[in-house]
A = this chain, B = another copy of it.
Amino acid sequence: MNKLLEKLVKKHIECSKDGHVAEYIPELARVNPYQLGISVHDGTKLISAGACYTPFTLQSVSKPLVLILALMDHGESYVFEKVGKEPTGDPFNSIVRLETYKKQKPYNPMINAGAISIAGLIKGASVDEKINRIVHFIRVLANNQEISVNTDVSNSEKSTGDRNRSIAYFLKDIGNIEGDPLETLDVYFAQCAIEITCQDLANIGMVLALDGKSPQTGEQLFPKQYAKIAKAYMTTCGMYDGSGEFAIQVGIPAKSGVGGGIVAIAPGKFGIGVFGPALNEKGNSIAGLALLKELSETLDLNIF
């Protein structure tokens, strides 16, 4: 496995040249695009290659994880009152369907609108407490107590977050979020700015691969059904408007972020973390996609 990963990193890092790093905040814009790292957890240990220790921010990879925390806080029926279950084929920051969808809620929690709605559900007496609860949950999932929010990034997200503010106020207008939209966004910006590595993502992926069980302790960290929900969403809409293509080409649940991270899951087998900051036009790591495609073929991971 180790040799395989080394070979795949070496081969696919090349296509980083065809992508671009996210440029809407300086912290992302100045990242070296020519990086690629992978870490695979096989239930017992981590096998890694490339830039596997390089920290980056979760960004949208946080969406299915915070969803699980919201499900733990409120249960399925309340959460599904707030967000739908269907993929959209629209860009991640689209606002159109909030106006046109008669049910007046985001189609799913993997697009920004739905993720902001979910951020609004996290319990806590203050913004800080909510953020702390999310960070704590990610630490548990990643089995890494060092994880924290990169406040430079969250501040930058906040200062450039006009589209997200537009979405949040629309959600407020249709009664989808209850508190102050700007406080909800503070939680959302912070969850996006949590800093992790491929190895952290691989551990998180392994927890999902085990339907919520810790690979370290065997403890059920959250209900199995919530793992299934998260992985179903990851499959139908985890890769922005490139989710269908990913299902066809790679065939495993995964969630990407514009920080260049992807968490992917071979159910029952592997948790996979990838980092490749050069993105394609849909916002997915271009080298990460290529690497995962070959990894899935080589190890026969396609779940369909």
| A117 contacts the other chain (CB 8 A) | no
Closest to A86 in B: B244
| Docked pose: A303 CA to B253 CA in angstroms | 10
Determine, out of A167-175, A186-194, A199-207, A284-292, the stretch whose residues face the partner at the interface. A167-175
Interchain CB contact under 8 A, B89 and A245: no
The residue that A244 contacts in the complex, of B108, B165, B167, with Cβ under 8 A, is: B108
**Interface size in chain A (residues, C-beta < 8 A):** 49
Interface of A is mostly: helix
Provide the residues of chain B in CB contact with A43, threshold 8 Å: none
| A163 contacts the other chain (CB 8 A) | yes
The residue that A170 contacts in the complex, of B87, B162, B236, with Cβ under 8 A, is: B162
Shortest CB distance A66–B (Å): 17
Provide the residues of chain B in CB contact with A233, threshold 8 Å: 244, 247-248
| Docked pose: A169 CA to B161 CA in angstroms | 9
Interface residues of A in 95-127 (CB under 8 A from B): 95-97, 99-100, 107-108
Provide the residues of chain B in CB contact with A88, threshold 8 Å: 87-89
The residue that A267 contacts in the complex, of B84, B253, B304, with Cβ under 8 A, is: B304
Interchain CB contact under 8 A, B86 and A243: yes
| A273 contacts the other chain (CB 8 A) | no
| Docked pose: A104 CA to B160 CA in angstroms | 18
Q: How many copies does the complex hold?
A: 4
| Docked pose: A272 CA to B269 CA in angstroms | 25
Interface residues of A in 150-170 (CB under 8 A from B): 162-163, 165-170
| A181 contacts the other chain (CB 8 A) | yes
Interchain CB contact under 8 A, A267 and B303: yes
Interchain CB contact under 8 A, B244 and A232: yes
The residue that A247 contacts in the complex, of B165, B232, B265, with Cβ under 8 A, is: B232
The residue that A87 contacts in the complex, of B167, B228, B237, with Cβ under 8 A, is: B237
| A235 contacts the other chain (CB 8 A) | yes
Shortest CB distance A278–B (Å): 22
| A229 contacts the other chain (CB 8 A) | yes
Provide the residues of chain B in CB contact with A227, threshold 8 Å: 304
| A19 contacts the other chain (CB 8 A) | no
Interchain CB contact under 8 A, A169 and B172: no
Provide the residues of chain B in CB contact with A265, threshold 8 Å: 304
- A sample of 7 more A-B contacts (CB under 8 A), given A86-B243, A166-B173, is A87-B88, A96-B99, A165-B169, A166-B167, A232-B304, A233-B244, A303-B303
Q: Which residues of A contact B (CB under 8 A)?
A: 84-90, 94-97, 99-100, 107-108, 162-163, 165-170, 172-173, 181, 227-229, 231-233, 235-237, 241-245, 247-248, 251, 253, 265, 267, 302-304
